[in-house]
Amino acid sequence: MTSERPLAPLIDTHCHLDFPDYDADRDAVVQRSLDAGIVYLITIGSSLERSRRAVSLAQSYTCVYAAVGVHPHDADGTGPGSVDAVRELAGNPKVKAIGEIGLDYFKHYSDPKNQMPLFVALAALAKDMDLPIVVHSRNAGDDTLKVLRGLLPLKAVVHCFSGDKLFLDACLELGFYVSFTCNVTYKKAQALRDTARGVPLERLMLETDAPYLSPEGFRGQRNEPRQVRFVAETIARIKGIDPETVAAATTANAKAFFNLP
């Protein structure tokens, strides 16, 4: 892998600091991120309880902001008051987006018949509250686009992008952002790198999805937000540009998208 030298300031736009993986050393994880030049971390809610914890963490750390929502994996267990609960959480000033929300037709943890109305309701909530959306879409590109097109104009980022070129082109045409995680560094991820090469810098953001998807050389270990720099360096290499350029552009994108200071 590359050196430990800090790049220009970076933002990890998608991590899960509330997960128990960090319970033993969360303060140290945040400090290591700051030491590595990561100026902001967006901790993402994936259920009502995790969204509450995300908000609490955002209030505890100056550099941490939150997104709140319900992941499609949890759609089967979502009650009628869930959207109102997310609305209440989203009123906190450190909440900068609704997410992650969306559709997942890959793992089948929840019935698509339950995923769809939840996604529609939470996406509509984001539009109503003038907040951007952090979208999870796996093997569900057509339905994801159908929902989002019905709510335009809308600010959205498709996180941990894994779709094909048709899905990418549609997202870009609609004005959405896409973000890539540390899996873009994997030896067998050439197709993903080819996809990332085609994303204009002005529509690109970086993330770790930590504690998941540690970069090549660290696989099998817990991921941390500080390792978002590996994504920046990989994107720079495949685009043939300086890592500082990637860092500056993606940080500017994230600040504008999440309305960060």
| Model pLDDT for residues 22-36, shown as the tens digit of each residue | 999 999 999 999 999
In the predicted model, is pLDDT for residue 3 greater than 50? no
- Nearest Cα to Cα of residue 117 among 155, 174, 72, 170: 72
Q: What is residue 198's predicted lDDT score, i.e. its pLDDT?
A: 95
Q: What percent of the chain has pLDDT over 70?
A: 97
pLDDT tens figures, 217-257: 999 999 999 999 999 999 999 999 999 999 999 999 999 99
- Whether the pLDDT of residue 258 is over 60: the answer is yes
Torsion of CA 251, 256, 257, 259, to 10 degrees: 110
Per-residue model confidence (pLDDT) at position 108 = 86
What's residue 4's pLDDT? 54
Contacting residues for 119 by C-beta, under 8 A, at least 6 apart: 72, 101, 102, 103, 144, 147
Q: What is the pLDDT of residue 5?
A: 55
Domain boundaries, the chain: 10-258
10-258 classified as CATH 3.40.50.720: no
pLDDT digits (tens, 9 = 90+) for 149-206: 999 999 999 999 999 999 999 999 999 999 999 999 999 999 999 999 999 999 999 9
Percentage of residues of the chain with pLDDT beyond 90: 95
pLDDT given for residue 8 in this prediction: 86
